[in-house]
Amino acid sequence: KNEVEQSPQNLTAQEGEFITINCSYSVGISALHWLQQHPGGGIVSLFMLSSGKKKHGRLIATINIQEKHSSLHITASHPRDSAVYICAPRGSQGNLIFGKGTKLSVKP
């Protein structure tokens, strides 16, 4: 069993739709990161959170430490949001443990 499970693996949405990507993990963590990887390969850190909820523009990330679950929401999705979204909790030794990613495609 993978330590980090993301769902769905692939997601196609119409522009303007509300999107949710889920992440469940089995490792004990101190913090969890959501990353965005564009087709060229570069990775951008979207959020780092250890409790509750964070919001940045149209992006919202939530985490439930007790349930070992985090979600990334995108409101009013846009084609430029098309990317792979990666959940990465931190293991007990501080290193990131990466999910396989969710490939999002937003159609105009």
Partner 1 sequence: ETGVTQTPRHLVMGMTNKKSLKCEQHLGHNAMYWYKQSAKKPLELMFVYSLEERVENNSVPSRFSPECPNSSHLFLHLHTLQPEDSALYLCASSLGQGAYNEQFFGPGTRLTVL
Q: How far is the CB of 6 from partner 1 (least distance, A)?
A: 10
In the complex with partner 1, which residue's Cβ is closer, 66 or 93?
93
Beta-strand pair 102-107/10-14: parallel
Q: Is 20 left (phi over 0), alpha (psi -120 to 50) or beta?
A: beta
| Near partner 1 in 34-93, by CB under 8 A | 35, 40-45, 48, 50, 86, 88, 90
* C-alpha 54 chain-centroid distance: 12
Give the N- to C-terminal CA distance of the chain in Å, as an integer: 36
CB 43 → partner 1: shortest distance, Å?
A: 4
> Shortest distance, CB of residue 96 to partner 1, whole angstroms?
7
> Does the footprint of partner 1 cover residue 105 (CB under 8 A)?
no
d(CA 108, CA 16): 9
For partner 1, the binding residues (CB under 8 A) are 4, 30-31, 33, 35, 40-45, 48, 50, 86, 88, 90, 94-96, 98-101
